Chain A
C-alpha cells in the first residue's frame, strides 16, 4: 500500500520501524530525532549527540548544520552498553570509544553542502540503527558556481 509523504511518520510508527525489535530486528536508519546545530558568533558550530538507553539510535539521528565549516560535537552515551563513533571530517575520519555512561568530544570539518554519514562501527550497531546523518545546508562559494542564469529545479 502506498503512502503519501505526510503520512510517512505515522506509518513508520504504526508499523514499528522506529523501535528496536518491532517490525524489523533493529530500527530503520535515520529514523530518530532531527535537530539543528547551534552557531557561535565566529561561525563555528556545536551540537550534542547522545545515545539514549536501549534504543540503539543517535539523538539526533539527523543533525542539521546551517552551512559548511567547523563543528564541535559533544558525544554522550547514556546507554548501558559500550558504543563508539566514527565521524566524517576532512583530513581523516574521527574515531572515539564511548563506554557505558560516558562523554566525549569531536571536532569536525565539512566543506560543502550535502549529507554525510556517521555511525557506531561496533557489533552491528550500524545495522541496528546507530547510523546518523549530518546535513550541511547552504551553497558552494559564488565564485565556484556556473556562469549561467538560474535554472529550473526538480
Chain B
C-alpha cells in the first residue's frame, strides 16, 4: 500500500474567505466613563440600547423628515447558514449592532460574532463558538448582540457561556460557564458592562430552571456575584411560593433581555421572565416573586433593592423581561415599561412606586389592571382539559423587541402586537431538561393586527398609531431627525414622522424583521443598520407567518453621497 498523501492540518474556515483578519484598535479606550456619556458621541452606538437609559434614541439628524425619501442601501453583509446547527429551522438575526469609531461588532445565531468595517461592510474578523446541536432552545437559535469595553467584545453563547474576545483579532481571551445546559439553561441576551463588570442573565424559563443574574470581572472573567430571581425557602420573597414542595426549584424568572442602568442611583433595572410552569398555577400558589417583575439591582453586589411585579401569579406566559426605559418627567426619575399583558407602566425608579398604568393594545381579555395597579385576572387556564381564549396571547401586546423614547418629542414609540391564543391546561410532571409549560397552546393565525404607536407618558394616552395588518415584532429606533424606524414581519423597513406617524419611506429587505436597528456615523455620513432574518419563536408570536422567507442579512442604509 502506498504512503498516504499528506493533507496537512485543518485551518480556520475564515482563512478561506476575503476576511481581513483584524480590526483597528478602536475598542481599546472604550471605558465605563465613555459608556456613561454614550449619547455625547452620537457617531457611535456604544452599548445595547445606545445608552444606559434604554431609550434607543440617537441625536443624529442628517437623515431627517425632509430627505429620508432618498435613503438607500449603502452596503449589505450576509453570512448565510452552512451545515447543521442547533434549531436549524428557527435561526433568526436579532442583534443590535454596536459601533465604535467606524468598526461594527455584531453577533449572529449559533455562536457567530463579526467585526465589520462600518463604512463598507467588509468583514474584518469573525469568531464562531461551537454550539451543541442538542442545546435546549425554547425560542429559536438567536443572540441579541455584544457589549464592547476595554479592548474586548463580550458575548454569551447558546450553551450558556460568557466569553471575551480580543476586539482587534476576535480571539478568545476568557470563557466562563454560567448555566447548565443539562438543566435546560441557555443564553441569548447582549451582556451589559457596568463599571468593571460584565453582567448577564440566563434563558430557560420554559424548562423549569431557576433564573439568575451573574456578574464577571471584565478583565479576567472571574465570577463576582450571582443573584437568583426565585428565592430559596427563608429568603425574602419565599413567602410568595408554596411553603411545601419543589415549586421554587423550578420557578423560572429568567432575565433574558438586557437591563438598563441609572449611574446616579447605582441601580440596574432588569426584567424577569415567566414563572414555570408557564400556565399551570396550581403547582405554584402565591405571587411567585420575583417572576414577571422589574428588579432594581445594585451592580456592585447583586442585591435586589426593590421590585415591582407586573404579573403576580402569571398564568398567561407574560414574561416581563422587556426593557425598562429610564426617563425624567417633571423632575421625577421614572421608568417606563410596556408589558406583554398589554399595559404600559410608569414607575418611580428610585423606589418602584407606581405612577401610572394604562393599556396600549386594543384587545385585553385576560383580566384588568386598575389605576392603582390592582390586578384582576378574568380569563386563564383553570380546569384540566378546558380550553380558554385570551388576548394578548403568550407573545404579548409587545414582545421582547424594544420601544424607543425621544427626548425631543417626549413620546414613547412602541411595536404593538394584537394576537390572541387558545390555551388548554394540561398538567405534567416536571422532568429536568424537558419543556415544562403545563398546557397545550395554539396562537391565532388569523384576525391579527399590529401597529407602531406613540404614547405620552405624562397621560398614558396614545398620540398616534400607524396600523398594520400584521403584528409589529421588531424594535423601534428614534432619531434626532424626527424619525422613527421600524421593520415589518413581511420585510419592509419603515421610517415614520415621529410627531404624526406618517409613513415617509419604506424599503423591502427580503425577510422579516425581529431585531434592533441602530444608527451611527462615519466621516460625517449617517447610517441606519438593521439585521434582517425572520425566524425564532414564530410559532409563538406570529404563527401566521411561519412560512415566510428566512434570511440572514445586515442591511445598512445612508443618503446618497453627493
- A92 near B183 with CB under 8 A, answer no
Would A92 and B13 be within 8 Å (CB), given that A76-B4, A117-B83, A152-B431 are in contact? yes
Is A45 interfacial (CB 8 A cutoff)?
Answer: no
Judge whether B9 and A107 touch: CB under 8 Å: yes
How far, in angstroms, from A6 to B246 measured CA to CA in the complex?
Answer: 35
CA distance A124 to B61 in the complex (A): 51
A127 to chain B minimum Cβ distance, whole angstroms, is: 12
A94 to B130 CA separation, bound complex (whole angstroms):
11
Which residues 96-154 of A have a CB within 8 angstroms of B?
96-117, 119, 121, 126, 131, 133, 136, 139-141, 143-149, 151-154
Per the 8 Å Cβ criterion, residues 1-51 of B in contact with A are 2, 4-14, 16
Contact B210 A148 (CB under 8 A): yes
Contact partner of A106 (CB less than 8 A), chosen from B9, B84, B179, B433, is: B9
Number of contacts between A and B (CB, 8 Å)? 164
Task: Name the CB-closest residue of A to B185.
Answer: A146
B133 at the interface (CB under 8 A from A): yes
Q: Is B160 part of the binding interface, using a Cβ–Cβ cutoff of 8 Å?
A: yes
B432 within 8 A of A: yes
**A144–B8 Cα gap in the complex (Å)?**
38
Cβ contact within 8 Å between B161 and A112:
yes
| Beta-carbon contact of A146 and B183 below 8 Å | yes
CB-CB under 8 A for A104 and B135, given A144-B179, A146-B183, A154-B431: no
B75 CB within 8 Å of chain A: no
Does chain B have a CB within 8 A of A63? Answer: no
Nearest-neighbor residue (CB-CB) of B19 within chain A: A92
Name B9's contact: one of A105, A109, A133, A153 (CB within 8 Å).
A105
Given contacts A92-B128, A114-B132, A148-B210, contact A101 B11 (CB under 8 A): no
Is the CB–CB distance between B430 and A93 below 8 Å? no
Please tell me if A75 contacts chain B, counting CB pairs below 8 Å: yes
CB of B447 closer than 8 Å to a CB of A: no
B83 and A95 form a contact (CB under 8 A):
no
Question: Does the CB pair B172–A114 fall under 8 Å?
Answer: no
A96 x B2 contact (CB < 8 A): no
- Give every chain B residue within 8 A of A103 (Cβ-Cβ): 4-7
Binding site for A on B (CB under 8 A): 2, 4-14, 16, 82-84, 126-135, 159-161, 171-172, 175-183, 185, 209-210, 212, 223, 228, 232, 246, 249-250, 429-434
Given contacts A92-B126, A95-B12, A151-B250, 7 further A-B contacts (CB under 8 A): A91-B127, A92-B13, A99-B7, A102-B7, A104-B8, A126-B83, A151-B430
